[in-house]
Amino acid sequence: MRKLKELIIEKVILICGLASIFFVVLIFLFLLKEGLAVFKIVSPFKFLFGKSWYPISEPPQLGILPLVLGSLLVTVGAVIISIPIGVGCAIYIAEIAPLKIKEALKTGIELLTAIPSVVLGFIGMVTLVPLAKNIFHIPTGLTALSGSIMLAFMAMPTIVSIAEDALYSVPKTYKEGALALGATHWQAIWRVMLPAASSGILAAVMLGIGRVIGETMAVMMITGNAAVIPSSILAPVRTLTATIAAEMGEAVVGSEHYFALFAIGIVLFVISFAINVTADLFLHKRQ
């Protein structure tokens, strides 16, 4: 009876795993079915590298280069801000903080992930946008910088949590051996713990980047939604995700605009898939 129960549980888990893969494949096939139709109207090169996004003009101009550059600019800014702070917080929690402070910090960081993105976007509109406008003396605070700061704040809980787990999983004998050989506490962390946990930290960074690229509501609310090639990080931008969220409700089913939005979904799917696969490879890397 015990073997039968184990067999049933194993089969159920196998079916769940296969079902998740099956659903991902179905989503990708649906995106391909709807999105590839746009290439009957515009070539893939012009779609990816065109500089004008005017989908309802006549004829429609379906170039997503401004959207790709907007997403890239916001993502790079968020990564530059979130990685040093996130990894530093993980080091402090895993190796330096007293037990009571460590538990409080871990709980607080995990609670941050539960805040809805639309709430964070609203907070950013009320506080961050006017602050950026006053500090840099620019016409509007709805810029790529505002989006980068907010997305960095949203990515940090993921980076901190996974990086802290990676540091915690390093055998304690590594650190004890370094201290026994005369290394200081910081030298043991920098020269021993961080290299040993590097694969997990890189995976945390990649998953944080994936969170940044896939974010929609917050970035749509505070980046200005200007579908133009950005001149600087203090200029309004529009991201790929914000374009889909803002325009899908207005697109006529079966129109060029409709198919172009699904083609943007294909681009996002490929980018997110590549980031997650890379993170998984780093996570399972054997030194």
pLDDT at 69 over 80: yes
> Does residue 256 belong to any structural domain of this protein?
yes
pLDDT at 19 over 90: yes
| Host domain of residue 13 | 2-40
> Does residue 45 belong to any structural domain of this protein?
no
Same domain? For 247 and 196 the reply is yes
Round to whole Å and give the CA distance between 66 and 69.
Answer: 5
Same domain? For 21 and 147 the reply is no
More confident residue, 57 or 91: 91
Same domain? For 182 and 224 the reply is yes
Write down the pLDDT at residue 207.
84
pLDDT at 171 over 70: yes
Same domain? For 175 and 91 the reply is yes
Same domain? For 11 and 92 the reply is no
Domain count across the chain: 2
Same domain? For 139 and 227 the reply is yes
Q: Which residue has the tokens 């790929």?
A: 240
Round to whole Å and give the CA distance between 92 and 85.
Answer: 10
**Token digits for 135?**
């500090």
Round to whole Å and give the CA distance between 203 and 167.
Answer: 12
- pLDDT (tens digit per residue) in 96-106: 888 888 888 88
Same domain? For 198 and 275 the reply is yes
- pLDDT (tens digit per residue) in 116-146: 888 888 998 999 999 989 998 888 889 999 9
Same domain? For 26 and 125 the reply is no
Round to whole Å and give the CA distance between 166 and 215.
Answer: 25
- Contact by Cβ (8 Å): 269, 189: no
pLDDT at 278 over 60: yes
Same domain? For 34 and 58 the reply is no
> Does residue 94 belong to any structural domain of this protein?
yes
Three-class SS state of 140: coil
Calculate mean pLDDT across residues 58-82. Answer: 89
| Cis amide bond preceding 171, omega within 30 | no
CB-based burial label for 20 (10 Å; 0-12, 13-18, 19+):
exposed
Alpha helices in 229-286 (DSSP H): 240-247, 256-283
Calculate mean pLDDT across residues 40-54. Answer: 88
> Does residue 47 belong to any structural domain of this protein?
no
> Does residue 137 belong to any structural domain of this protein?
yes
Four-residue CA torsion sign, 21, 23, 26, 28: negative
Write down the pLDDT at residue 15.
93
pTM: 0.84
DSSP letter for each residue of 80-118: HHHHHHHHHHHHIIIIIS-HHHHHHHHHHHHHHTTS-HH
Calculate the average pLDDT of the chain: 87
Same domain? For 180 and 84 the reply is yes
Write down the pLDDT at residue 285.
63
> Does residue 46 belong to any structural domain of this protein?
no
Calculate mean pLDDT across residues 76-87. Answer: 91
pLDDT at 184 over 80: yes
Calculate mean pLDDT across residues 148-163. Answer: 90
Q: Is 92 left (phi over 0), alpha (psi -120 to 50) or beta?
A: alpha
Categorize the per-residue pLDDT at 224 as very low, low, confident or very high, splitting at 50, 70 and 90. confident
Same domain? For 74 and 111 the reply is yes
Calculate mean pLDDT across residues 235-255. Answer: 88
Write down the pLDDT at residue 18.
92
Q: What is the CATH number of the domain that holds 201?
A: 1.10.3720.10
Write down the pLDDT at residue 287.
47
pLDDT at 190 over 50: yes
Calculate mean pLDDT across residues 222-230. Answer: 87
> Does residue 102 belong to any structural domain of this protein?
yes
> Does residue 98 belong to any structural domain of this protein?
yes
Same domain? For 60 and 9 the reply is no
Write down the pLDDT at residue 273.
84
pLDDT at 199 over 70: yes
Write down the pLDDT at residue 237.
92
